[in-house]
Amino acid sequence: MMTLQNLALVAVLTMFAVAAAAALGWMSLRIALLLIEPATARRVPDRTPLEHGRARLARAFSANR
């Protein structure tokens, strides 16, 4: 009787360990994909008004020289 209980306990604990390993694997995969996504989907940001003003100022000074 004790052997059957030990076998059942080992079976239940093994199923729990498999489920926990699958959950951890799934979470680590999701985290890895979230970390990779910004590197592949990087867009060129629009120029701010300050950058437009600097470009105009640089063109104005270079034309006078």
Out of 23-27, 42-46, 53-57, least confident range: 42-46
Measured CA to CA, the distance from residue 4 to residue 9 in angstroms comes to 9
What's the whole-number mean pLDDT along residues 17-25? 98
pTM of the full predicted structure?
0.53
Burial class (CB in 10 A: 0-12, 13-18, 19+), 58: exposed
